[in-house]
Structure 1
Amino acid sequence: MEIRITKTEKYLKVEKIAKKELILRIIIFFLIILYFFIHSYRKYGKITIGFALFISPVVVSFYLAFIIKYPYEVLLIKNRKIIRYVSLFYRYLRWCKIFNFLKTYNIDDLENIYFKNTTEIFVNKIIKRNESPYHKIHLRFKDKSYDGFGVKLKDKDAKDIVLIINKFLEKYKKEAKIKRFTLVEKENLIEKYNSPIDRRYNYILNKIIDEEVLFIAKKDNNYIINGDSEAIKDLEVFKNINFEEIDFYVFYVNYLSKKEYEDKKVLVGYNGVDGKEVTMSKFKEDINEIRDSRSTFKK
């Protein structure tokens, strides 16, 4: 099992990777299931298929219990959000979303973060519950709820992760500084939103990629998408629009990767009068094109 920590000025990413252990357990589990299915099919015939479908929830429960200590886990702290992602296979599976779990919390709602021993139950004549040598990271929130990260962590790994996270969170504990625009800056911003639609569209796409965050609001069964936090705060036209701030990674998973949103209409670069109207799939295509071009340029 590997703990991989990526830290930049903008975000902290902690990954728990148990690829070998997870793949080995998945193979063993499905070989066992395959053996029992073939054995039963030879003995009982087609009735086995119906029985297999009937007990599939039980099989899934056993699968989860078998691999529960070795999923791929990510804890991402970015844009004042805590994002916890778990895949019960290795990494993100587009074709099997039922095995992917994503939760997002506000950093302001976090009360504390700590690690504690997990427990193991041993059955030896009588049931005993003993402390194990492994730990789990606990995130406790102000509403008394909590979430966990990293089942079966070694003592040193758990301590290091908690220290690194707490140190990274220190900058969020400081008093937030409010950026006050000068008159010239505000006039420049207004000018950008009065420019031609295509120019506004490209400006917002690049802003989203730069900031790695976007703002989304519902309007007449369509969506308004923006990536300009200064405009959202300071331009009068957006004062009465209820924007939701979303991390770009979360938006990509929850909207751009889902088929039901492909044909949804979005307004990008909206200025109170008009904006570039495209489908969600077109928006995804254009934003991916800019991201790819930037990657090519860097190479």
Structure 2
Amino acid sequence: MRKIVNKNSTYFYSYAGLIPLIFFEIILLIFLFIFSREIVPAIAILIPNYFFIRAIIIVLKYFISIEECYCIEDKFYYKKILWNRWILREFEIPIYEIKKIQDNGKLILKTELQAGVGYLLYYFNPYERICIETIFGRKYNIWNYKKRPSYWSIDNLYEDDREFLDSLFSIRAMVADRRKEILFNQKIENLMERYNFPLDERYNYILNKIVDEEKLFLFKKDNNFIINGDSEAIKDLEIFKNMNFEEIDFYIFYVNYLSKKEYEGKKVLVGYNGVDGKEVTMSKFKEDINEIRDSRSTFKN
């Protein structure tokens, strides 16, 4: 199973930010305990206490937690996990409901260019940069944009952006590939359903495909002929993978086989599905396919 994870290249910096936040919070709690009986000092301590607790929660929820997404069958799954134990957020979306996956745009904060304590303000500004929009108008913001302090190196800004874009393109590609797989599997199911039709229905289906595509596929084995006209089935169905079909223009086949008396009584198998097919003579095949061509010509006239 292909899984895309929000690479946490800022792990060290996130913990480096979390530790002083916890340290300051402990100091505030100590002072709150000391001045708990005095209303004004207690209120004065509670205000910064709220912001420090909020920052700690944000760090845990957005900067230390891991985001991952993957596709299973026809659904897209997203999870945000803290320390591989607690699931903070999860959802699933049917692949066919996803309209677009877009970049909300790079947000550069003033704190991004600050060092020291100023960088702690960054943890008050989580920014989920990927937006998944469904055909019903629902939007899911994911993938917190994690940045390293730029005072180490200005290259960090560009490296973080490259990591994000890699994730964005990978998610888009994963969903697009899965959508193609679903459509392909649906096509295979539809083809197999057709090839499980009763013999007469299957026979008529192949004749109409030959007239539509103006070509057919011929497989010769031990002086026996298997005829098909469905190019998609020949290409995609497993039952035909080991059969070396020859593609022939219908009019060339008509001249080389259907118009020659020596082939009139020859038996051909039409609509073969790996188990059975309708066996007819070449003359009967010619008669039936001409009937379809004539009926279409009459309709056009």
Q: Identify the structure with the greater helix proportion.
A: 2
Which has the higher Rg, Structure 1 or Structure 2?
A: 2
